[in-house]
Homo-oligomer: A and B are copies of this chain.
Amino acid sequence: MKLNIALLAGDGIGPEVIEQAVKVSDAIAQKFGHEITWKPALTGAAAIDAVGEPYPDATHEVCKNADAVLFGAIGHPKYDNDPSAPVRPEQGLLKMRKALGLFANVRPTFTFPSLLDKSPLKRERIEGTDLVFLRELTGGIYFGEKGRKDNGDTAFDNCVYTRAEVQRLAKKGFELAMTRSKKLCCVDKANVLETSRLWRETVQAMEKDYPEVEVSYEFVDAVAMRLVQWPNSYDVLITENLFGDILTDEASVISGSMGLMPSASMGAEVSLFEPIHGSYPQATGLNIANPMATVLSAAMMFENFGLMEEGKAMRDAVNKALEAGVVTEDLADGGKAYGTKEVGDWLAANV
**Which residues of A does B touch, CB under 8 Å?**
83-84, 88, 90, 94, 120-122, 125, 141-142, 144, 146-148, 150, 152-164, 189-198, 200-201, 220-222, 224-225, 227-229, 242-243, 245-247, 249-250, 252-254
Main SS at interface, chain A: helix
Known: A156-B194, A225-B249, A229-B253. 16 other contacts (CB 8 A): A83-B197, A83-B200, A120-B229, A141-B141, A141-B159, A152-B198, A154-B160, A154-B162, A155-B195, A156-B158, A156-B160, A156-B195, A157-B194, A159-B159, A224-B224, A224-B250
In this complex, the member of A144, A155, A156, A197 whose beta carbon has the largest number of chain B beta carbons within 10 angstroms is: A155
**With A122-B120, A146-B194, A194-B147 given, is the CB distance from A249 to B229 under 8 Å?**
no
Are B163's CB and A153's CB within 8 A? yes
Contact A94 B192 (CB under 8 A): yes
- How far is it, in angstroms, between the C-alpha of A252 and the C-alpha of B159 when the chains are bound? 27
Given contacts A221-B249, A229-B253, A253-B228, contact A83 B148 (CB under 8 A): no
Q: Which residues of B contact A147 (CB under 8 A)?
A: 194
Q: A84-B197, A90-B192, A142-B192 are in contact. Are A254 and B228 (CB under 8 A)?
A: yes
Hey, which chain B residues are within 8 Å of A191, CB to CB? 83, 88, 90
**What distance in Å separates the Cβ of A123 from its nearest Cβ neighbour in chain B?**
9
User: 20 A-B contacts, Cβ less than 8 Å apart?
Assistant: A83-B191, A84-B200, A120-B228, A120-B229, A121-B122, A146-B193, A146-B195, A154-B198, A155-B198, A156-B158, A156-B194, A157-B194, A158-B159, A159-B159, A221-B249, A221-B250, A224-B247, A224-B250, A225-B253, A250-B250
List the 3 shortest-distance A-B pairs measured between CB atoms, nearest first. Answer: A83-B190, A155-B198, A221-B249
Name the distance in Å between A223's Cβ and chain B's nearest Cβ: 9
Q: Which of the residues B150, B158, B194, B224 comes within 8 Å of A162, measured between beta carbons?
A: B150
Contact of A228 among B88, B148, B228, B243 (CB under 8 A): B228
A157 touches B155 (CB 8 A): no
